[in-house]
């Protein structure tokens, strides 16, 4: 049977891999840029979509170009709070009732903001939307799950002056250090700030991430930061296998204790393995996939983003999500960047349902994996109760639209 857009929009959903600075409203970006004196290549929505935030990109570099504009307007607490608040409501309106929004605080600290300032500002915006939704008729009268959120702090494999004036300041204070060692220092500093924000400020920082270019910037360089958050029971997700081979995913799991993998697209790409110690790349890739499957290490799949940053994939039907479904891996569909990828959570599900002919059972599993494998900011018992309520809601909505649970 056809799984309709009406169904996909109505179902409770998650987004576990979404960047705040890639998910602004265009109108807000323009308004903030005018207020702050930031130059944009166009002052119209249509112009920005033509020149910067496109339907498709030539490569990852072009895809990342838009972040120079979004991060430029997010160096003030008021702007961060506003964007977080609007982001929350954009998700609530499509029944995305749980999000884990990630961002790199160090990209927003060039104008005097501290780590605590950045975390507080984002939490204020998200928390305000959470409180408003909790008092809405959808929750109080129609039984919708309350909106909940967690924050994931992103460390960066590397920095550039274009994106981080703060990092340039750090480099100047560590004149004897090479850039690679400073990247690791920055990650450890962020790890400590993230744990402090959770434990001392009461902010729902639920995870730690590593983002940025994989090639030439190995994850193992950041192992001290990830060991610190691991020792303090902060969960870990790592961008890996997006633009590099299976070794990157292996390193994320073994060196950084990753609980989830961001993208993981090249898990099934043994031809990209370059390490000479791996004598049989195909066997290595198979063993890694089996390990991930057995340990239920969830893959945060971002179909549209992958197609945009890696045009060689071609059509959506060629995406490795087909293999993920066939291998019955734990995976959830995510947007990556709502603005830069010109997508929503509902759009991602529609894309997957249509391209891979997902059954009702597969759809239900993928949606529920998102809730079960979340880094929920509460006790395990609270998480179980929340997930149970979401599952009940899912089944009522699906049944009401005539969708059976089985395949």
| Residues belonging to the active site | 242
* CA geometry: angle 94, 123, 87, nearest 5 deg: 25
Q: Decide if 153 contacts 194 (C-beta within 8 A).
A: yes
Structure-block tokens of residue 377: 């900011």
Residue 300 host element (H or E): strand 298-301
- What is the distance between the alpha carbons of residues 177 and 219, in angstroms, rounded to a whole number? 19
CA dist 54 → 64, 65, 84, 123, 314 (Å) = 11, 11, 22, 29, 17
Using left for φ > 0, alpha for ψ between -120 and 50, and beta otherwise, residue 191 falls in alpha
Of 33, 60, 22, 398, which Cα lies nearest the Cα of 214? 60
Cα-Cα end-to-end distance for the chain? 10
Q: Under a CB-based contact definition with an 8 Å cutoff, are residues 62 and 53 in contact?
A: no
333: helix, coil or strand? strand
CB 242, CB 263: distance < 8 Å: yes
Can you list the positions of beta strands (E) in 104-256?
148-156, 205-211, 235-240
Tokens of 191: 């790890």
Residue 57 to residue 61: CA distance in whole angstroms: 9
C-alpha–C-alpha distance, residues 223 and 238, integer Å: 12
């Amino acid at each position: 049977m056809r799984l309709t857009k009406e169904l996909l929009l109505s179902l409770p959903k998650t987004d576990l891999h979404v960047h705040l600075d890639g998910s602004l409203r265009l109108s807000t970006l323009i308004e903030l840029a005018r207020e702050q004196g930031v130059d944009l290549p166009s002052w119209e929505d249509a112009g920005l979509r033509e020149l910067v935030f496109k339907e498709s990109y030539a490569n990852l570099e072009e895809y990342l170009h838009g972040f120079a504009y979004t991060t430029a307007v997010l160096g003030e607490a008021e702007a961060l709070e506003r964007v977080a608040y609007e982001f929350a409501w954009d998700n609530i309106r499509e029944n995305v009732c749980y999000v884990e929004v990630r961002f790199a605080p160090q990209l927003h600290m060039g104008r005097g903001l501290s780590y605590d300032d950045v975390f507080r500002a984002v939490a204020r915006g998200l928390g305000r939307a959470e409180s408003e939704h909790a008092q809405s008729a959808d929750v109080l009268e129609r039984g919708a799950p309350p909106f909940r959120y967690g924050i994931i702090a992103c460390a960066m494999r590397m920095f550039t002056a274009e994106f981080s004036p703060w990092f340039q300041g750090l480099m100047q204070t560590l004149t004897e250090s090479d850039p690679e060692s400073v990247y690791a220092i920055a990650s450890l500093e962020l790890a400590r700030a993230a744990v402090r924000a959770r434990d001392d400020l009461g902010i729902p920082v639920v995870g730690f991430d590593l983002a940025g270019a994989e090639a030439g910037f190995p994850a193992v360089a950041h192992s001290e930061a990830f060991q610190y958050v691991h020792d303090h029971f902060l969960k870990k997700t790592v961008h890996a296998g997006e633009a590099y081979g299976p070794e990157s995913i292996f390193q994320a799991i073994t060196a950084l204790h990753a609980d989830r993998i961001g993208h993981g697209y090249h898990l099934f790409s043994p031809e990209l393995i370059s390490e000479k110690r791996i004598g049989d790349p195909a066997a290595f890739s198979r063993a890694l996939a089996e390990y991930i499957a057995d340990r239920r290490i969830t893959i945060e799949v971002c179909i549209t983003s992958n197609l945009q940053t890696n045009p060689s994939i071609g059509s959506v039907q060629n995406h490795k999500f087909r293999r993920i479904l066939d291998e019955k891996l734990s995976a959830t569909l995510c947007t990556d960047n709502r603005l830069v990828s010109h997508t929503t959570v509902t759009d991602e599900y529609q894309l997957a349902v249509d391209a891979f002919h997902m059954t009702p059972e597969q759809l239900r599993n993928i949606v529920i994996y998102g809730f079960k494998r979340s880094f929920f900011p509460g006790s395990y018992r609270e998480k179980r109760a929340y997930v149970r309520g979401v599952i009940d809601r899912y089944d009522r909505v699906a049944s009401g639209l005539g969708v059976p649970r089985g395949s």
